[in-house]
Chain A
Amino acid sequence: DAKTTQPPSMDCAEGRAANLPCNHSTISGNEYVYWYRQIHSQGPQYIIHGLKNNETNEMASLIITEDRKSSTLILPHATLRDTAVYYCIVRVAAQGAQKLVFGQGTRLTINP
């Protein structure tokens, strides 16, 4: 079972920042938070991941609360192409424990 909770759907206006929340209240100290997205019927696309510090890359920013029980993925300037299902995944970073457990994700719709 997925160890995260996400809202089933969200809307955001084009050009605005999209903030996608994720709860992972049972996260352990050796577990990372990963974000993937799936655009239409394509394969899941890696976005970003982090352990406890905030992270930023060319796609998004990841803000993890100090207690690590929740996080927020931020798409700073959403475009129509960002419409997708976004998955927040908690994953143990240890040899042998490599699989990703997908939940239902958040269906993000970017509106013009």
Chain B
Amino acid sequence: EAGVTQFPSHSVIEKGQTVTLRCDPISGHDNLYWYRRVMGKEIKFLLHFVKESKQDESGMPNNRFLAERTGGTYSTLKVQPAELEDSGVYFCASSQDQRTGFRDTQYFGPGTRLTVL
């Protein structure tokens, strides 16, 4: 079974440009999460989708970040316009459903390393 995949693995852009990150969750997983780690800091939660709906977007830093999950499959995270402080590693995770136990265990992708110059 394929794990969570993310694209691209690395992205280098200039300040003010737009970048779109993509996450493909494990097939059949209803829940999709975005996290990020900025330099020297802890991994922080950004938002959580249940199928195509945003369940919790309390971690989104500002309105320059837009996440979508059309059709409840893959998700995109767009940063527009990018700022220097957006540099970091963006992780995506998915879990099967919201019932407790193993079904709500989150499995992470390899991350996208974003560098804003």
Contacts and interface: CB of A to CB of B under 8 A. Distances in A.
A pairs with B: yes
Interface of A: 2, 32, 34, 36, 41-46, 49, 93-96, 98-104
30 contacts: A2-B42, A32-B100, A34-B105, A41-B111, A41-B113, A42-B111, A43-B4, A43-B93, A43-B110, A44-B91, A44-B93, A44-B108, A46-B105, A46-B108, A49-B105, A93-B100, A93-B104, A98-B31, A98-B56, A98-B95, A98-B98, A99-B45, A99-B48, A99-B56, A99-B59, A100-B35, A100-B93, A102-B44, A103-B42, A104-B42
A109 to B, nearest CB: 20
Interface string B72-107: 000000000000000001010101001011001111
B18 interface: no
B44 to A, nearest CB: 7
Given A2-B42, A43-B110, A98 B104 contact: yes
Interface string B26-68: 0000010101000000111100100000011001000000000
B100 A42 contact: no
